[in-house]
Amino acid sequence: MNSMEKRSWGEAFGAFIHPRVITMLFLGLSAGIPILLIFSTLSIWLREAGVDRSTVTYFSWAALGYSFKFVWAPLIDRLPFPVLHSLMGRRRSWLIISQIAIIAAILWMGLTDPAQNLTMMAFAAVALGFASATQDIVIDAYRIEAADTDLQAMMSSAYIGGYRIGMIVAGAGALTIAGLFEAEGAYQHFAWTMAYGCMALAMCIGVITTLLVSEPRSVKLDSKYFHETSDYVRFLAMFALTVIAFILANVYAGNITDPLKTALTDNGMIRELAGFIAGTLKLAVSVVFAVFVAWLTTRVGLTPTGMVQETYISPVRDFIDRYGKAAIVILALIGVYRIADIVMGVMANVFYTDLGFSKEEIAAVSKTFGLFMTIGGSFLGGVLSVRYGVVRILFLGALLSAITNILFAFMAQLGPDTTMFVVVIMADNMSGGLATAAFIAYLSGLTNISFTAMQYAIFSSIMTLFPKILAGFSGTVVDMVGYSWFFIGTAVIGIPVLYLVVLAGRLTKVKEAEDARQAGV
């Protein structure tokens, strides 16, 4: 991983027009469209259809596939898709299938009226979340395999830029289309059908891109277990049984955890903390039962133990073997790198509203202007990473993310000052885009091309897990200490990240030097 290697400015800017970089712009757009069709755009639709707020928030669970995509990432790595695999290759075949599934799910949602059949809409939203997460797995693997390490920063920047454009299309674009077909003051399902139909049509950009690009360099999978069709069927059966076990355990564990949450709350514990403890226990019970079922399938001979080890354990063991003691520091860095941004970001919109800004001001400054600043920051991060090396820009991104959080504390003292609002959004979103571009490039460089999908899926899940858990308590902290101290606190918790960046970079260089020395011997 040549993360410290410097390039000329000409080489840095020349990477913009590399065909693979341009490809990632369009694939990023394809990845950015589905996410808002599950979240904010769908939330507005559901509210217009008369669905109550508590039920609307439950629909956010439809995107849980993004957090657990590492569970089925090995299937994408190991299982060739029938017929299409020989015609298009391993990555492109799965990519086209996931995109077709996304289009089908979007159309399914568009044709379903939540005012008449909310359950069917929930199924369609879950299907879209699963298909979209699958597309993300394949795009991440494609991005890493399609270009060398020194181009990963620009590949990441183009992907982020495309992703944000896709969010604009699915956010402002979908709402605008729905407004054009909607009678004033009256809910009409047809308007949303047209909006989601246009989003399905926009997904064709990704389909066309997949059909036009070439398959990344092939990696031969030396497998002791996956040879015949029956091997893949057996593994798929084990996976299906494990998923069913997880779902059933999650449903019935509620009989234990729900009374526990009530008891903890009644005894004076903060409601959010009680919910976190009960939810963690529920998840733990579900995971343990699912693992037990997976173990049981190997004991009865449905799935050989070696098949599970090769698919799930080998990618983890490979990472530890390659980085040794540095692996612990690297995983810690991955787990906390975005902590300042995520913990603060959960309260951002609430903060703007509480400060006195109107919806129009928030939409114009935070959502529109801020989105373009993020895109600009991501491309800046890509250029600087190519020029100065990924680790240096990784450090810069972490530093700027912490500093910009302090600007929010000043903003809390000034009140609804529009000029300060613009300055803060510009600084925060540009630094966030820069940090994210460098971070994605860094994660890409950590993966072994033999386990691309699985390893990157694990990394991308780890990077949001702990910060999102902490973010759940943001509202409680604000109630206790106020906005100013909350934002200062989010800046402070970002300081250890700087040390981890330096330490991880140093340990990685030592490990690479040792490997080079051994290879020379």
Q: What is the mean pLDDT of residues 431-445?
A: 88
Distance CA 445, CA 301 (A): 37
d(CA 386, CA 46): 44
- Is the pLDDT assigned to residue 202 strictly greater than 50? yes
pLDDT of residue 61: 63
- Which of 483, 499, 180, 510 has the alpha carbon at shortest distance from 344? 483
What average pLDDT is seen over the chain? 83
pLDDT, greater one: 262 or 214: 214
Q: What's the pLDDT band for 4 if we cut at 50, 70, 90? A: very low
Q: Which residue has the tokens 């969010």?
A: 167
Angle at 347 between CA 346 and CA 351, to 5 degrees: 155
- Position 53 confidence tier, pLDDT thresholds 50, 70, 90: low
Which part of the chain has CATH 1.20.1250.20? 9-218, 313-521
Give the model's confidence band at 278: pLDDT under 50 very low, under 70 low, under 90 confident, else very high. Answer: confident
> Alpha carbon of 438 to those of 270, 343, 386, 391, 483: distances in Å?
37, 20, 10, 8, 29
Tokens of 143: 């991005």
282-304: pLDDT as tens digits: 878 888 888 898 888 888 877 77
Per-residue pLDDT, 2: 44
Provide mean pLDDT across the span 365-369.
82
> Quick one: 9-218 is in which CATH superfamily?
MFS general substrate transporter like domains (1.20.1250.20)
Smallest CA-to-CA distance from 124 within 138, 94, 99, 103 is with 103
Confidence (pLDDT) at 415? 84
Whether residue 186 has pLDDT greater than 70: yes
pLDDT of 308-326, one tens digit each?
A: 777 788 888 888 888 888 8
What one-letter code names the amino acid at 77? D
Q: Is the pLDDT of residue 199 over 50?
A: yes
Architecture of domain 313-521 in CATH? Up-down Bundle (1.20)
Q: How far apart are CA 425 and CA 413, in angstroms?
A: 16
Helix segments in 213-325, DSSP class H: 229-266, 271-299, 305-308, 314-323
Stretch 410-418: mean pLDDT, rounded? 88
Q: How far apart are CA 157 and CA 505, in angstroms?
A: 21
Block residue for tokens 């009680």: 274
Q: What percent of the chain has pLDDT over 90?
A: 24
User: In terms of pLDDT, which residue wins out, 234 or 189?
Assistant: 189
- Name, in order, each residue with C-beta under 8 angstroms of 120's C-beta and a sequence gap of 6 or more: 112
